[in-house]
Amino acid sequence: MKENLNGLSQALRDCWVSSLALIAAVVAFIHHDAAMAGCFLTIGAIGAMNGLMKTELALAHKGPTWWKEHAVLRVFHHITNEGELAGIAVGLLAGGMLISQGHHVHLALSEGFTLLGIMSMANLVVRNMTPVMRLLERVGGPRLVIVGGSLLSSFTGEPAAAVFLGDYFKKRCKVEDRARVATGLALTIGSGGGLMYFAAPPILIVWGVLNATFGWSLWDLITLVGGGCVAHVLIGTSRFVKYIRPATKVELNGPVTFKEVAPLMGLGLLVVAHLLFAQSHVLWVIDAGVAGVSWRMAQVRFAGSADHEAAFTAKWQPLILASLLLALEVIGEVADPFIGWLGGFIPTDWPVLGIAVVTFFVTAVTSHFADNALASRVFMTFAASLIPVIGLESANLVAASVVMGALFGGFVTIPGNLPNFYLARVFNTTSGEWIRRAFPMYVTVLAYLGWLTFRWAVM
């Protein structure tokens, strides 16, 4: 018992900033100060989702250390899921705060089931992507593999793209270039998920708002955001592809058989179903069924394995991500008054392009440290508040800047985006190396700024 209390005490000390912020949020909410409650809850969520500070910021490339043998804390601490589990806990706190004051809690169930189904199916077929990568390399070399694989994350989900691209290239670069390749892939995968609304959590979590408030369709997403994403993937690829050795003829040998790629048809069918019947309860049941099959297959695959970390992630990550999406929506509800207050400091008489650029960078910087889905959810409230002030067409540009800022911003630190954890491990990259190699890649932001300028010019 004493050991358990000591471990919990250490955990709370390691995340003391987050703990104090969450306590302050509860106190402010009790005193009906909605703006300050939202402020402190946002700070607490950002701190919590960065893990227990020293674990994810300093040791993210290694995996669990001190808590691994702990009788209680080992259940909760898995380095690739720690921040997400903390986010869910903050979401439960936010939900309790809302219910205690008689407020309605909105759960984004449609978006949650969508993410659960897509991620689970991607887990089932991720190993079948290697033949597709080989085919792409035969046609266009490593550059086409990076571009094509990153854009495929719009269908497979970003974590799955990190697995098949990371495994494909992990032995194809020099030791001194591993950090460059890892951060480069994080950059292109982070933007590559922007072509579909259901694959990237920063888009999925705000899709209901974009659809209902801004009137966006899938075509609007592609024309307002997708062009910037594709441009960023292309420019980002050119920054690090030279560090990857082209495959030999032996490595590219062997035909691509139907048996190898047939499982990918299941993912394709599920994607089409979500495009056509996103709100169907029958589809929710199918999503849950796919999740059950994925969990069972992971349990069989890792039976007897000593790699408990990989086993936990394979079995539970889809459910964790879906639950996190629901939690972030609830956190966003509490944070809305604060964001509305904060948005009042941005002069609405600025040129629309100026507002969009500022919003882009605020969202991107937040995404460096928090889950980029939280950044997207929080700042989309500001974009929506501008509709009666600057008009729907101009507000659309600001909304697009929020989404693109969230997609771009997650690559700078390892905790910034979920795929980064796997890439950091497979390329054996420390947090310090990651940040040092990431900042020179920041120049690729010009792709997004150029796209924003183009969209503003053709308004």
Please report, rounded to a whole number, the percentage of residues in the chain having pLDDT higher than 90: 27
Predicted confidence at residue 288, as pLDDT, reads 92
Lowest mean pLDDT among 111-120, 205-214, 307-316, 372-381: 307-316
Q: b/e per residue, 105-140, with b = 16+ CB within 10 A? A: eeebebbbbbbbbbbbbbbbbbebbebbbbbbbeee
Predicted confidence at residue 71, as pLDDT, reads 58
Indicate whether 309 pLDDT > 50: yes
Predicted confidence at residue 453, as pLDDT, reads 96
Indicate whether 174 pLDDT > 70: yes
Radius of gyration of the chain (CA): 21
Indicate whether 157 pLDDT > 60: yes
Predicted confidence at residue 22, as pLDDT, reads 85
Out of 179-193, 194-208, 301-315, the most confident range is: 179-193
Indicate whether 60 pLDDT > 60: no
Give the pLDDT confidence of 24-55 residue by residue, as tens digits. 988 988 888 888 988 888 888 877 765 444 44
C-alpha–C-alpha distance, residues 298 and 190, integer Å: 25
Predicted confidence at residue 50, as pLDDT, reads 59
Q: In the structure, what pLDDT confidence band is assigned to residue 81 with cuts at 50, 70 and 90?
A: low
Average pLDDT over residues 341-359: 84
Predicted confidence at residue 61, as pLDDT, reads 43
Predicted confidence at residue 103, as pLDDT, reads 83
Give the pLDDT confidence of 216-244 residue by residue, as tens digits. 999 999 999 999 999 999 999 999 999 99
Lowest mean pLDDT among 11-25, 137-151, 158-172: 11-25
Name the more confident of 247 and 398. 398
Distance of CA 245 to the CA centre of its chain: 28
CB atoms inside a 10 Å sphere around CB 368: 19
Any idea how long the chain is? Answer: 459
Residue spans per domain, the chain: 2-100, 109-457
Predicted confidence at residue 405, as pLDDT, reads 95
Name the more confident of 77 and 359. 359
Q: In the structure, what pLDDT confidence band is assigned to residue 289 with cuts at 50, 70 and 90?
A: very high
Average pLDDT over residues 384-409: 93
Name the more confident of 2 and 404. 404
Cβ partners under 8 Å of residue 277, min gap 6: 283
Lowest mean pLDDT among 65-69, 205-209, 370-374, 405-409: 65-69
CB atoms inside a 10 Å sphere around CB 340: 16
Predicted confidence at residue 56, as pLDDT, reads 43
Predicted confidence at residue 64, as pLDDT, reads 44
C-alpha–C-alpha distance, residues 374 and 201, integer Å: 9
C-alpha–C-alpha distance, residues 122 and 268, integer Å: 10
Indicate whether 6 pLDDT > 70: no
Indicate whether 79 pLDDT > 50: no
Average pLDDT over residues 97-105: 85
C-alpha–C-alpha distance, residues 224 and 59, integer Å: 38
Indicate whether 303 pLDDT > 60: yes
Q: In the structure, what pLDDT confidence band is assigned to residue 58 with cuts at 50, 70 and 90?
A: very low
Predicted confidence at residue 14, as pLDDT, reads 56
Predicted confidence at residue 9, as pLDDT, reads 56
- Listed residue (189, 215, 213, 212) closest to 202, CA to CA: 189
Name the more confident of 347 and 451. 451
Q: Is 157 helix (H, G, I), strand (E, B) or coil?
A: coil
Q: In the structure, what pLDDT confidence band is assigned to residue 82 with cuts at 50, 70 and 90?
A: low
Predicted confidence at residue 13, as pLDDT, reads 55
Indicate whether 84 pLDDT > 80: no
Predicted confidence at residue 219, as pLDDT, reads 93
- Residue reference for tokens 């609405």: 348
Name the more confident of 341 and 408. 408
Q: In the structure, what pLDDT confidence band is assigned to residue 77 with cuts at 50, 70 and 90?
A: very low
Name the more confident of 364 and 415. 364
Q: What is the mean pLDDT of the chain?
A: 82
Predicted confidence at residue 167, as pLDDT, reads 85
Cβ partners under 8 Å of residue 93, min gap 6: 22, 25, 26, 41
The CA–CA distances, whole Å, from 228 to 52, 222, 359, 455 equal: 34, 9, 16, 10
Lowest mean pLDDT among 250-254, 344-348, 399-403: 250-254
The pTM (predicted TM-score) of the whole model is 0.80
